[in-house]
Structure 1
Amino acid sequence: MNSLSDSVFKDIALTALAPVIWGSTYIVTSQFLPPDRPFTAALIRVLPAGLLLVLWMRTLPALRYWWRLLLLAALNIGFFQALLFVAAYRLPGGMAAVVGAIQPLLVMFLAWAVDKRRPLALAVWASIGGIFGMALLLLSPHSVWNGVGIMAALLGAGCMAAGAWLTRRWSLPLPVMALTGWQLLLGGVILLPAAWLADAPLPALSHSQLLSYAYLSIAGALLAYCLWFRGIARLSPVAVTSLGLLSPLTAVVLGWVFLGQQMSGLAMVGLVMVLGSVVTVQISGRR
């Protein structure tokens, strides 16, 4: 029994590393990357990492799985990244994160509506508490409610939730690294037209900018998504998506530590509520 508990704890801890790494990319992007090139940043993050993994694994999916793989790549990578940056440019980061916090509830709804798996009340209330905690942590009276940004954030959350649910539901017969590589590669191909048409060409890059792009690709895509899809294969989609709340939480803490950003007492209450929500959903997922 103890070995099983240790195994589950290890799976949760390794999966949690993915959103923590994603949370660190906010400070890297804002402080080191060329401005106003969101789709290019997303493309550079996912396409090289996908190409490396595909070449390393050399695993070609069976023809009958390609349409599923393409849909997963669109939901988890291509559409999600594009909508994420649309929301980020039209909303304050806090507002986008609060809207994105509905992902665990969306996964519960999909499992209930399609798989006829009724969610535990504890998980539902914990997820709602996580949304309120995120609002206390990130929102302010001056937050801007932009309709297009809100819609993009909602659609992005829906894409990520549906992608996590379908990834677990279909369980494609591919090694985790091959599954990750193909999704990153195909997602990068989906992002390519947006980066080409919407973003300005990159200027000459400094050494720090090159290292930042390398970090986004190697840590933010190759490593983080391998851990994320490994977690989806071993944990419930609700438990995995609730760990996604650690991403904006990490961004706030890093901004507080390294950029001197202030945190009010109410924000600290929100931080505790978010952590409590994540822990409670993990506990409920064991039942």
Structure 2
Amino acid sequence: VLVLAAASWAAGSVSSRQLDLPRSPLLATAMEMVTGGALLLVLGAATGECGRLDPAAVTPASAAAVLYLVVFGSLVGFSAFIWLLRVTTPAIATTYAYVNPLVALALGWAFLGESIPPRVAAGAAVILGAVALISRSAPPAGNPAGQPASTSSGPSSG
């Protein structure tokens, strides 16, 4: 299932450049989330998950955490990702997956006083170096980085 999910994410990232998606990244994100949420709700109901929900167990802190993840982790994050897919290559746009753990490390260090062992720091440096190499790679011919991807699926006539 995980391999299928990763393959689907990659296929969607690459094909999104040719699909006729809404101009607004926020609208595209909302449509994807509503569709996915509705499908998961139906699947959860069909498998009996609704009976396991205990509304009394939901605390204000857990509700706030879910709201934070919906707004920042999903709406803002996915909107930024969709925008990046439009203005750069999928290879560069997907470097977020490598950088996110480094951001988490930095936030843990800055706000929670967590230590960063030397081996972890070395690994972080390797990851940053790899992302820098990817980011410096030449964009594909005909679509320089920073230019919106074409919405047509056929070859250009000019």
Mark yes or no: TM-score above 0.5. Answer: yes
Match of 2:94, SS?
Answer: helix
Aligned residues: 135
1:166 and 2:19 matched: no
- Is the CA contact (8 Å cut-off) linking 1:256 and 1:263 kept in structure 2? yes
Match of 2:134, SS?
Answer: helix
Q: Could you report, residue by residue, the CA deviation over 1:206-236 in whole angstroms, capped at 9, with x for unpaired residues?
A: 2222221111111111111111101101110
User: Which residue is equivalent to 1:248?
Assistant: 101
Q: Which moved more, 1:215-224 or 1:154-163?
A: 154-163
- Take 2:129 and 2:70, find their aligned partners in 1: how far apart are those partners? 31
Task: Find the partner of 2:130 among 277, 281, 285.
Answer: 277
Q: Which structure 2 residues correspond to residues 250-265 of structure 1 after superposition, within 5 A?
A: 250-259=103-112, 261-265=114-118
How far apart are residue 257 of structure 1 and its match? Answer: 4.1
The verdict on how the C-alpha distance between 1:248 and 1:155 changes in structure 2, with shifts beyond 3 A counting, is: farther
- Is the CA contact (8 Å cut-off) linking 2:89 and 2:139 kept in structure 1? no
Task: Find the partner of 1:207 among 44, 60, 63.
Answer: 60
- Take 1:262 and 1:195, find their aligned partners in 2: how far apart are those partners? 40
- Take 1:198 and 1:275, find their aligned partners in 2: how far apart are those partners? 41
Greater RCO, CA 8 A, separation 6+ = 1
- Please state which structure has a larger fraction of its residues in helix: 1
TM-score by length of 2: 0.71
- Is the CA contact (8 Å cut-off) linking 1:180 and 1:226 kept in structure 2? yes
TM-score by length of 1: 0.42
- Take 2:81 and 2:69, find their aligned partners in 1: how far apart are those partners? 15
Give the AA of the match of 2:36.
G
How far apart are residue 194 of structure 1 and its match? Answer: 4.5
Match of 1:252, SS?
Answer: helix
Q: Which structure 2 residues correspond to residues 46-57 of structure 1 after superposition, within 5 A?
A: none
Question: Which is higher, the Rg of structure 1 or of structure 2?
Answer: 2
